[in-house]
Structure 1
Amino acid sequence: MKKFSSIYGTVTMIQDYSVSSDEELNGCFKLMSLLREDGSIVNFVISPTTYFLDHVMVSIGDRVTGFYDLNLPVILIYPPQYQALIIAKDNPYQNVKVDYFNGQLVSSDGQLQLNITKYTPLLLPNDQPFTINPANRNLLVVYGPTTMSIPAQTTPYKIIVMC
């Protein structure tokens, strides 16, 4: 099972990244550098399967959150380099959480509970509708205000089911 973690920062560089000598893969991978608020730098490898929330174009200077699988091995180099699974461009009007949500739609860290209505869009990463209960799955949740309870509760703006 994937255990998601995230890193927030400002994009300082985007460049082509070579993963092999296969000519067919040239240009398909990118290396994105983020400057974190503490001044440290983190690199994300962007692959053709990296999901960009709302299919946005990311440029140098944008603030983004990169989500990666905490269980995947990471090469020991500086700056650290992670394989990006999801990139979300910062938006002051929405929050983003990627996590496993259980049968009660509570995140694995116990911090967020989802209250889904019939108007909550449930989508696959390719923007097609997801038509069954999203419980017990990895979800990308886009939401706004939450309650002050523990766990915080919210009615999401939309949910992307990460099959």
Structure 2
Amino acid sequence: MSSEVKEEKQYNFKSFTGTVKTVTDFQGAKKDLKYVLVEDAEGREANIIVSKDTYIVNNENIGVGSVITGFYDADKPMIMIYPPQYNAEVVAVFNKDQNIKVDSFDKNLISSDKYFKLNISNDTKIITQDGKPFKGKLKNKKLVVIYSISTKSIPAQANPIQIIVLSKKSA
């Protein structure tokens, strides 16, 4: 008797938030990269690497002085360098009226870190990263969840305003 266990990919998204100090086109083989040097509230710096595959929430412009958050898969290899460089899968420009969670969710719509649960309503807009309506299952997909408020419970619960389903090629 053999039983096959199908392991599902869990993502380990981390983020870095800071104020943009410089935006530089990468001067190498890949011409489609931008290095966005940011500094957080404690004075720590990081380069958020933005590629053509990076999803930029609301297609906002990223400029010097903007406060941004770069979300990256912490399980992907990274070079040990200072300041650290993070290959962003998602970048969001700060908006005081919205919060963002990037993660994958199980069949009960609980995030892989078990700290966030989605309560989807008829008002929740669910789209692909190219803006088309998404009608499939959200289980185990990389999602960008935009919401305004959440409960203080564990897991926190939120009624998302919008969910963006990322394509497999994103960063």
TM-score by length of 2: 0.88
Q: Which whole-Å CA distance do the structure 2 matches of 1:45 and 1:54 have between them?
A: 18
Match of 1:124 in 2: 128
Q: How big is the shift at 1:148?
A: 2.4
Query: Which of 147, 153, 163 in structure 2 is aligned with 1:143?
Result: 147
SS of match in other structure, 1:91: coil
Q: Which whole-Å CA distance do the structure 1 matches of 2:73 and 2:150 have between them?
A: 26
Deviation string, structure 1 residues 32-74 (Cα, Å, up to 9, x no partner): 0010111110001111111100111111101110011111111
Report how many residues are paired.
158
Query: Which of 88, 100, 105 in structure 2 is aligned with 1:101?
Result: 105
- Structure 1 stretches of at least 4 aligned residues deviating more than 2 Å after TM superposition: none
Deviation string, structure 1 residues 101-160 (Cα, Å, up to 9, x no partner): 111101111111101012211110000110122123221100011122221111000000
Q: How big is the shift at 1:19?
A: 3.3
Q: Which whole-Å CA distance do the structure 1 matches of 2:33 and 2:137 have between them?
A: 34
Q: Which whole-Å CA distance do the structure 1 matches of 2:80 and 2:155 have between them?
A: 35
Deviation string, structure 1 residues 66-103 (Cα, Å, up to 9, x no partner): 01111111111111111111100100001000011111
Unaligned runs of 5+ in 1: none
TM-score by length of 1: 0.92
Query: Structure 2: which amino acid aligns with 1:77?
Result: I
